[in-house]
Amino acid sequence: MQWWQEAVVYQIYVRSFADGDGDGVGDLGGIRSRLGYLELLGVDTLWLTPFYTSPMADHGYDVADPRGVDPVFGDLDAFDALVEAAHEHTLRITVDLVPNHTSSEHEWFRAALDSAPGSPERARYHFKPGRGATGDDPPNNWQSVFGGSAWTRVADPDGGQGEWYLHLFSPDQPDLNWSNPEVWADLEKTMRFWLDRGVDGFRLDVAHGMSKPEGLPNALYPPSKLLADAGGDRADPRFNHAGVHEIHRKIRSVLDAYPGRMTVGELRVADDNRFAEYLRDDELHLGVDVRLAKAPFDAAAVREAIERTLAAVATTSTVPTWTLANHDMSRPASRYGGGAAGGARARAMALVLLALPGTVYVYTGDELGLPDVDLPDEALQDPVWERSGHKERGRDANRVPIPWDGGQPGYGFTTGVPWLPMPPEYGALTAAAQLEDTASTLSLYRRAIELRRNHPGFKGGSELEWFGAPDGCLAFRRAGSTLVCALNTSKASVPLPPGEVLLSSGPLVNGMLPPDTAAWLA
Ligand code: ISL
Element of type H or E holding 54: none
Q: Is the CB of 175 under 6 A from ligand 1?
A: no
Distance of CA 189 to the CA centre of its chain: 24
The residue nearest atom 20 of ligand 1, judged by CA position, is 205
**Tally of CB atoms within 10 A around 149:** 19
Element of type H or E holding 138: none
Per-domain boundaries in the chain:
107-166, 461-521
**Helix runs in 259-338, H state only:** 272-277, 291-294, 299-314, 332-335
Question: Among 480, 311, 335, which Cα is nearest to 395's?
Answer: 335
Q: Is the CB of 202 under 6 A from ligand 1?
A: no
Instruction: Please tell me the predicted confidence (pLDDT) of residue 228.
Output: 47
Decide if 288 contacts 225 (C-beta within 8 A).
Answer: no
Spatial distance between the Cα atoms of 22 and 111, rounded to a whole number of angstroms: 35
Q: Is the CB of 169 under 6 A from ligand 1?
A: yes
Distance 466 CA to ligand 1 centre (A): 34
**Tally of CB atoms within 10 A around 40:** 12
Instruction: State the average pLDDT over residues 231-243.
Output: 79
Residue 462, Cβ density class (10 Å: 0-12 exposed, 13-18 middle, ≥19 buried) = middle
Q: Which atom of ligand 1 is nearest to the CA of 392?
A: 4
The residue nearest atom 2 of ligand 1, judged by CA position, is 328
pLDDT tops 90 at residue 249: yes
Q: Is the CB of 288 under 6 A from ligand 1?
A: no
Distance 310 CA to ligand 1 centre (A): 24
The residue to mutate among 47, 48, 61, 104, having the most atoms of ligand 1 within 8 angstroms of its beta carbon, is: 61
Q: Is the CB of 58 under 6 A from ligand 1?
A: yes
Spatial distance between the Cα atoms of 118 and 162, rounded to a whole number of angstroms: 12
Decide if 58 contacts 15 (C-beta within 8 A).
Answer: no
Q: Assign 3-state DSSP to the chain and report helix, strand, coil percentages, each to 5.
A: 30, 15, 50
The residue nearest atom 7 of ligand 1, judged by CA position, is 328
Contacts of residue 164, Cβ cutoff 8 Å, sequence gap at least 6? 127, 128, 129, 130, 135, 138, 139, 151, 152, 153, 154
Give the global pTM. Answer: 0.96
Instruction: Please tell me the predicted confidence (pLDDT) of residue 75.
Output: 98
Is 277 annotated as catalytic?
no
Q: What are phi and psi of 223, to 5 degrees?
A: -50, -35
Spatial distance between the Cα atoms of 487 and 472, rounded to a whole number of angstroms: 8
Considering 27, 236, 266, 328, which one is annotated as catalytic? 266
Q: Is the CB of 61 under 6 A from ligand 1?
A: yes
Instruction: Please tell me the predicted confidence (pLDDT) of residue 341.
Output: 98
**Tally of CB atoms within 10 A around 111:** 14
Spatial distance between the Cα atoms of 394 and 381, rounded to a whole number of angstroms: 8
Instruction: State the average pLDDT over residues 504-510.
Output: 96
Is 266 annotated as catalytic?
yes
Secondary structure of 59-120 as H, E, C letters: CCCCCCEEEEECCCCCCHHHHHHHHHHHHHCCCEEEEEECCCECCCCCHHHHHHHCCCCCCC
Instruction: Please tell me the predicted confidence (pLDDT) of residue 234.
Output: 62
Instruction: Please tell me the predicted confidence (pLDDT) of residue 156.
Output: 84
Spatial distance between the Cα atoms of 294 and 296, rounded to a whole number of angstroms: 6
Decide if 418 contacts 446 (C-beta within 8 A).
Answer: no
The residue nearest atom 9 of ligand 1, judged by CA position, is 206
Distance 270 CA to ligand 1 centre (A): 16
Spatial distance between the Cα atoms of 338 and 95, rounded to a whole number of angstroms: 31
pLDDT tops 80 at residue 229: no
Which residues on neighbouring strands pair with residue 478, listed in sequence order? 464
pLDDT tops 80 at residue 222: no
Per-residue pLDDT of 19-48, as tens digits, reads 999 999 999 999 999 999 999 999 999 999
The residue nearest atom 11 of ligand 1, judged by CA position, is 206
Q: Which atom of ligand 1 is nearest to the CA of 62?
A: 23
What's domain 107-166's superfamily in CATH?
Oligo-1,6-glucosidase; Domain 2 (3.90.400.10)
Distance 154 CA to ligand 1 centre (A): 24
Distance 277 CA to ligand 1 centre (A): 21
Which residues on neighbouring strands pair with residue 204, listed in sequence order? 97, 265
The residue to mutate among 205, 289, 364, 398, having the most atoms of ligand 1 within 8 angstroms of its beta carbon, is: 205
Distance 434 CA to ligand 1 centre (A): 31
Distance 328 CA to ligand 1 centre (A): 6
Per-residue pLDDT of 288-321, as tens digits, reads 989 999 999 999 999 999 999 999 999 999 999 9
Per-residue pLDDT of 108-133, as tens digits, reads 999 999 999 999 999 999 999 999 99
The residue nearest atom 6 of ligand 1, judged by CA position, is 229
How many angstroms separate the Cα of 454 from the Cα of each of 119, 391, 457, 458?
A: 59, 47, 9, 8
Question: Among 520, 220, 191, which Cα is nearest to 354's?
Answer: 520
Per-residue pLDDT of 376-401, as tens digits, reads 999 999 989 988 899 999 999 999 99
Decide if 471 contacts 281 (C-beta within 8 A).
Answer: no
Q: Is the CB of 205 under 6 A from ligand 1?
A: yes
Q: Is the CB of 229 under 6 A from ligand 1?
A: yes
- Tell me how many degrees the CA angle 469-473-475 measures, rounded to the nearest 5: 60
Instruction: State the average pLDDT over residues 392-420.
Output: 97
Question: Among 255, 146, 203, which Cα is nearest to 363's?
Answer: 203
Distance 296 CA to ligand 1 centre (A): 21
**Tally of CB atoms within 10 A around 316:** 19
Distance 206 CA to ligand 1 centre (A): 7
Q: Which atom of ligand 1 is nearest to the CA of 169?
A: 22
Q: Residue 409, preceding bond cis, omega within 30 degrees?
A: yes
Q: Is the CB of 396 under 6 A from ligand 1?
A: no
pLDDT tops 60 at residue 226: no
**Helix runs in 235-288, H state only:** 244-255, 272-277
**Tally of CB atoms within 10 A around 349:** 27
Per-residue pLDDT of 269-282, as tens digits, reads 888 899 999 999 99
Q: Which atom of ligand 1 is nearest to the CA of 329?
A: 1
Instruction: Please tell me the predicted confidence (pLDDT) of residue 33.
Output: 98
Identity of the amino acid at 302: V
CATH topology for the 461-521 domain: Immunoglobulin-like (2.60.40)
The more confidently predicted of residues 259 and 227 is 259
Considering 19, 27, 62, 205, which one is annotated as catalytic? 205
